[in-house]
Chains A and B, each alone.
Chain A
Amino acid sequence: MTKLKTFRIGGIHPNKYKITTDSPIIDAGLPDIVTIPVKQHIGAPAKILVQKGDKVKVGTLLADADGIVSSDVHSSVSGEILKIEETEGEFGYLEKMITIKVEGDDWAPSINRSDDIIREIPFSAEEIIAKIREAGIVGMGGAGYPTPIKTTIPENRKIDFLIINGIECEPFLTADDRLMVEKAEQIVIGAKILNKALGIQNAIIAVDENKPHAVEILSRLSKSYIGVNVQVCATKYPQGGEKQLINAVTGREVPSGKLPADAGCIVQNVGTVNAVYEAVLKNKPLFERIVTVSGDACLHPANFRVRVGTPASFLIEKCGGLTENTAQVIFGGPMMGTSAFNINAPVTKLTSGILLLSDKLAHKAPAGDCIRCAKCVEVCPVGLQPFMIGRLVRAGMLEETREFHPLDCIECGCCAFTCPAHLPLLDYCKLAKAELKRKK
């Protein structure tokens, strides 16, 4: 057996907890009310085009991208707009959101709702990018970087690799896994569309070995599609990180402080690629996504197809409700996700999972003293020395952390995960980052 590809430095093997691997994606249904944030991406919030009282259909444009780094936002339901105001979001901070009362399920006529798979791509690169922009597609892996910018390659760069990220290295989450199993052909065609948009010949779908079902289906399909290959990678966290995946698949490194395009690579999440397929060939804007609801305190874990704006509490109810031993509700994965302050906050384009964790898993043991075991150095996928950053931050010497490069930290949490003294190394690193960014 040949050695599977993986990134060069660091990495950890946390317990996988992939409870929902074999649960098929089910439709979550429609809640009574959805709240759609106008900022579900990196960059400027979208400009609101609708008013209170307007009737909207599924797929109606609600807010328009404001500038280049921004993204369109579409309605995910049909009904009446109740209010457009600052509403408490996931963290308890106020965010501008559009609240819609759901009435029926009336889709915009332009959307092709049939299940037939379209294999012809009758568009030019510019047309494809325009369609991606109109559909409001953003990176669905979690970063939320608008996809049209990523697919528009500056003149002076040459892209050699398009990598489709099907790694999903976070414990518990299975949304991408299920998507690859159920929508394999759509993803492969989506990859071909992106090939065309980028003007390159080859796309690599990277899947890790703990998803044998997805690997099998995609490998079979890729044989009949020229220009799409499947690369099986070893399972290691944080392989799904953009920089780590580039290193794993191509052996290249993204230069410090630069973008993947500087290393000749573009990475797109499988969810994004599926959305690209739907947008380009089915005229369907991005208004729904796959969400894994799981966790050790969740009664009936499942994978859902969810309309953007659906309250998290609606999904939690569907899975048996907030159980007594739920200590934390996490949006996203347990390694990089955020704990929710407000569980009525809506699912956005970026929410890959909602996890109910019991105190047993989410317990934070009190921090001890660093025993200099060097495990944080060993596991850091960037090759930093988290212990040193932590030591300096604890001593209040934030400026001095610069020579240990905290700005290159990808915030994967490997250091804090592995620390036998339970030191909050990632928090220290974030503090150093914030200070250095402020001083820059």
Chain B
Amino acid sequence: MLKISTAPHLTTNRDTRALMTDVIIALIPAALVAVLFFGLAALKVILTAVAGCVLFEYLAGRYWFKTGNTTRDGSAVITGLLLAFNLPSSMPVLMILCGCFMAIVVAKLCYGGLGKNIFNPALVGRVFLFISFPVQMTTWPKPEFLNLWSFDAQTGATTLGILKHLDASTSATALVQGTSAESIPAYWQMFVGYTGGCLGEVSALALLIGFVYMLWRKVITWHIPFYYMATVFVITAVMWLLTKDVRYEPLTHLLSGGLILGAVFMATDYTTSPMTKNAQILYAVGCGVLTIVIRLWSAYPEGVSFAILIMNALVPLMDKYAKPRFYGSRR
């Protein structure tokens, strides 16, 4: 018997799973760098987060939401990887699992699963941990190249933490050890990732390799990462030129903290980013502005997570009102 179906009769073989696999591949360089600089402790965090996310997705989907096994599409693996990338390597296992639960069950499945969540699950998990366990979340082991057994590494401040302290130092409070302007890492250190911070965010190089891979595989377009990073760069550059203050150094802002990780992997999350080009640009610029506002004028040294989460909430609105011009409509 012949089949009949509606056009088009050909479809792409790039299904959801294939796209997610490409994102996972793009995340691998950053994971390698994390293990290289933070040792097996980093590997432990990554594996715990991925396993936790997949497990929660499976259990909750099967026994609570009755949506069946949705782990096959690979999105839980990405959430796990991204969550791990947002944690310091000294994070205790149970806390990571708490974050996984928040990310997968509360931020994703409660909204209806993949494609229906409003907020980026990994970021919800991270922010939850950040607010619940602030001490553990801001204890940054110092990177040690190829020292795999680094479970009790020395700790230090992140670049953005140093900038924040410089802020305080102007008002003549005591300087914290190792937070003077001289202790800001060199650009090359920040670029390859030889600096303190969360697992995945330290190496700009590894993240950019992932970015190029995703562009080449057409997983994402360049718009959101470019406009996000460009906004941060332009605002800090203007302020730096005006004040010549080391706190506004644009390249430091670009390379430090979670900016590149956020811009390339978090802000471009399919589900929680806008659908139309206009809205995507608006969203990326909004993320950039909020990041800088939080970094420079709030109590937190880093603002990428909050900036993206705030902009996530505005996505439906932007999708509705930033419609693109369609072919043949009046100019």
* Chain B positions within 8 Å of A424 at CB level: 6
Cβ of B94 to closest chain A Cβ, rounded Å = 31
B171 at the interface (CB under 8 A from A): no
CA distance A327 to B2 in the complex (A): 5
Contact between A385 and B323, CB atoms less than 8 A apart? yes
Q: Tell me which of A253, A334, A383, A420 has the highest count of chain B C-beta atoms within 10 A of its own C-beta.
A: A420
Cβ of B166 to closest chain A Cβ, rounded Å = 40
At the interface with chain B, which of A38-46, A218-226, A265-273, A370-378? A370-378
Contact between B15 and A343, CB atoms less than 8 A apart? no
Contact between B10 and A374, CB atoms less than 8 A apart? no
A122 at the interface (CB under 8 A from B): no
* Chain B positions within 8 Å of A439 at CB level: none
Question: Hey, what's the 0/1 contact readout for B294-328 against A, CB within 8 Å counting as 1?
Answer: 00000000000000000000000001000111111
A371-B114, A374-B276, A420-B16 given; A365·B327 CB < 8 A: no
In the complex, the chain B residue whose C-beta lies closest to that of A374 is B275
Contact between A335 and B275, CB atoms less than 8 A apart? no
Contact between A371 and B9, CB atoms less than 8 A apart? no
Cβ of A225 to closest chain B Cβ, rounded Å = 32
Contact between B5 and A364, CB atoms less than 8 A apart? yes
Contact between B328 and A243, CB atoms less than 8 A apart? yes
Q: Interface size (A, Cβ < 8 Å)?
A: 64
Cβ of A383 to closest chain B Cβ, rounded Å = 4
* Chain B positions within 8 Å of A199 at CB level: none
Contact between A256 and B276, CB atoms less than 8 A apart? no
A338 at the interface (CB under 8 A from B): yes
A335-B9, A418-B12 given; A253·B270 CB < 8 A: no
A416 at the interface (CB under 8 A from B): yes
Question: Hey, what's the 0/1 contact readout for A393-419 against B, CB within 8 Å counting as 1?
Answer: 000000000001100100101001111
Contact between B115 and A361, CB atoms less than 8 A apart? no
Contact between A362 and B16, CB atoms less than 8 A apart? no
CA distance A328 to B8 in the complex (A): 12
Question: Hey, what's the 0/1 contact readout for B2-34 against A, CB within 8 Å counting as 1?
Answer: 111111111110111011000000000000000
A381-B327, A408-B327 given; A362·B3 CB < 8 A: yes
Contact of B271 among A341, A359, A372, A408 (CB under 8 A): A372
* Chain B positions within 8 Å of A382 at CB level: 326-328
In the complex, the chain A residue whose C-beta lies closest to that of B271 is A372
Q: Tell me which of A362, A364, A371 has the highest count of chain B C-beta atoms within 10 A of its own C-beta.
A: A371
B329 at the interface (CB under 8 A from A): yes
Contact between B8 and A9, CB atoms less than 8 A apart? no
Contact between A330 and B9, CB atoms less than 8 A apart? yes
Contact between B116 and A373, CB atoms less than 8 A apart? no
* Chain A positions within 8 Å of B276 at CB level: 374, 377, 385
A14 at the interface (CB under 8 A from B): yes
* Interface residue SS majority, chain A: loop
10 A-B interface contacts by CB (under 8 A): A14-B10, A254-B327, A334-B7, A335-B9, A337-B9, A365-B15, A371-B271, A374-B280, A382-B328, A385-B323
CA distance A426 to B8 in the complex (A): 8
* Chain A positions within 8 Å of B185 at CB level: none
A326 at the interface (CB under 8 A from B): yes
Cβ of A156 to closest chain B Cβ, rounded Å = 20
Contact between A377 and B6, CB atoms less than 8 A apart? no
Please give the residue numbers on chain A whose beta carbons come within 8 Å of chain B beta carbons, in ascending order.
9, 14-15, 171, 243, 247, 253-258, 326-330, 334-341, 343, 357, 359, 361-362, 364-365, 368-374, 377-378, 381-385, 387-388, 404-405, 408, 411, 413, 416-422, 424, 426-427, 430
B136 at the interface (CB under 8 A from A): no
Known: A9-B327, A15-B10, A424-B6. 4 other contacts (CB 8 A): A257-B328, A328-B4, A336-B7, A368-B16
* Chain B positions within 8 Å of A413 at CB level: 7-8
Classify chain B: how many residues form its interface, as a range.
Answer: 35 or more
CA distance A405 to B328 in the complex (A): 11
A328-B9, A374-B275 given; A422·B15 CB < 8 A: yes
A-facing residues in B115-169 (Cβ within 8 Å): 115-116
A9-B327, A384-B326 given; A421·B7 CB < 8 A: no
Cβ of B9 to closest chain A Cβ, rounded Å = 4
CA distance A253 to B277 in the complex (A): 20
CA distance A310 to B73 in the complex (A): 47
Contact of B11 among A364, A370, A408 (CB under 8 A): A364
Cβ of A316 to closest chain B Cβ, rounded Å = 12
Contact between A329 and B11, CB atoms less than 8 A apart? no
In the complex, the chain B residue whose C-beta lies closest to that of A415 is B8
* Chain B positions within 8 Å of A420 at CB level: 12, 14-16, 18-19
Question: Hey, what's the 0/1 contact readout for B228-264 against A, CB within 8 Å counting as 1?
Answer: 0000000000000000000000000000000000000
Contact between A361 and B6, CB atoms less than 8 A apart? no
> Nearest 8 A-B pairs (CB), nearest first?
A413-B8, A383-B326, A256-B328, A339-B4, A374-B275, A373-B270, A334-B9, A371-B115
CA distance A369 to B14 in the complex (A): 15
Contact between A337 and B7, CB atoms less than 8 A apart? yes
A334-B8, A417-B11, A426-B8 given; A377·B275 CB < 8 A: yes
Contact between B12 and A253, CB atoms less than 8 A apart? no
Contact of B7 among A14, A338, A383 (CB under 8 A): A338
Contact between A374 and B270, CB atoms less than 8 A apart? yes
Contact of B2 among A340, A372, A411, A430 (CB under 8 A): A340
B113 at the interface (CB under 8 A from A): yes
Contact between A373 and B19, CB atoms less than 8 A apart? yes
B221 at the interface (CB under 8 A from A): yes
CA distance A14 to B75 in the complex (A): 26
CA distance A131 to B197 in the complex (A): 79
Cβ of B117 to closest chain A Cβ, rounded Å = 10
Question: Hey, what's the 0/1 contact readout for B255-294 against A, CB within 8 Å counting as 1?
Answer: 0000000000000001111111100100000000000000
Contact between A253 and B328, CB atoms less than 8 A apart? yes
CA distance A427 to B11 in the complex (A): 14
* Chain A positions within 8 Å of B8 at CB level: 334-336, 413, 416-417, 426
